[in-house]
Amino acid sequence: MKNESSTDSELVLPLPERLPSKVKVLFTDVDDTLTWGGELPAETYSALHQLREAGIVVVPVTGGCAGWCDCLIKTWPIKTIIGENGALFLEKDDAGIVHTHYLKDESQIKGDLVHLKRIGETLQQKFPLIGYTQDQPFRLTDIAFDIGQTVSVPNEIARVATEWLVLKGLQARQSSIHINVWVGDHSKATGALEWLGRGDYDPSDCLFVGDSPNDESMFEKFPNSVGVANVERFLKQMTYLPTFKTKSAGGYGFAELAEVIVRG
């Protein structure tokens, strides 16, 4: 749903007891959508198993690094994960082998990283409260800055820094914990659509759940969408909004949504 008037929460409906269409694929953000307070609640992990048992394909779509994606796909009940804001996706085959697919060629990625790190140095001089994320060494295609994971950067500073990066000609998205920065037109949504195009599912089979401005491309391309309750604090910053909103925050809201999906 598009935010035409900046009247925020009134445009997002409460999550109904039954969804208007059957969900075959559930795309989900990770940080503060599956997690809460930096941890994965037991209710969330149980919900992931319940969804798999119900035949629902769960695909995390995250700004998280490739290294983290590799860990999650090997330990969670999932077979696909889209990482680094759509720059790559990992798939686990029937033998348990994980394969990584990139949307760019290797030489382009190397050139992009040189440019990004140069801009990153300038950003840290201009915004001394903002530094790289701890997972930066495990990123393969982008850079990310910590604004809410191990530090607490005021939202206004994070917002201005994100806008500054965009003015430098980069893609920059603010999430609840990071500012993710990359070169190119890819996004969470292009990564999700690329993966869908290789299989048997259609966007109408899908639902997305997220929590922040970094999820706007998914809210735009997948109108069958849900925000967990903590999306509320970002609604005034966003143009594209979720259709529904859970009562609970983070992973607890995800578990609430999973119950509705499994109920059918």
Complete domains list, the chain, with CATH: 20-103+186-263 (3.40.50.1000), 106-182 (3.90.1070)
Give every residue of the chain whose pLDDT is below 70, as ranges.
4-9
Hey, is 101 helix, strand or coil?
A: strand
C-alpha span between 159 and 21 (Å, rounded): 35
Model pLDDT, residue 11? 86
Mean pLDDT of the chain: 95
Place of tokens 């979720």: 242
Model pLDDT, residue 2? 72
Phi and psi angles of residue 98, each rounded to the nearest 5 degrees, phi first = -95, 130
Model pLDDT, residue 9? 62
Side-chain-facing half-sphere of 13: CA atoms under 13 Å = 12
- The set of residues, in sequence order, having a beta carbon less than 8 Å from that of 165 and lying 6+ positions away, is 119, 123, 172, 179, 181
Closest by Cα among 256, 173, 183 to 220? 173
C-alpha span between 127 and 24 (Å, rounded): 43
Place of tokens 């940080």: 31
Which H/E stretch holds residue 204? none
Model pLDDT, residue 264? 82
Sign of CA dihedral 185, 34, 176, 122: negative
Model pLDDT, residue 225? 98
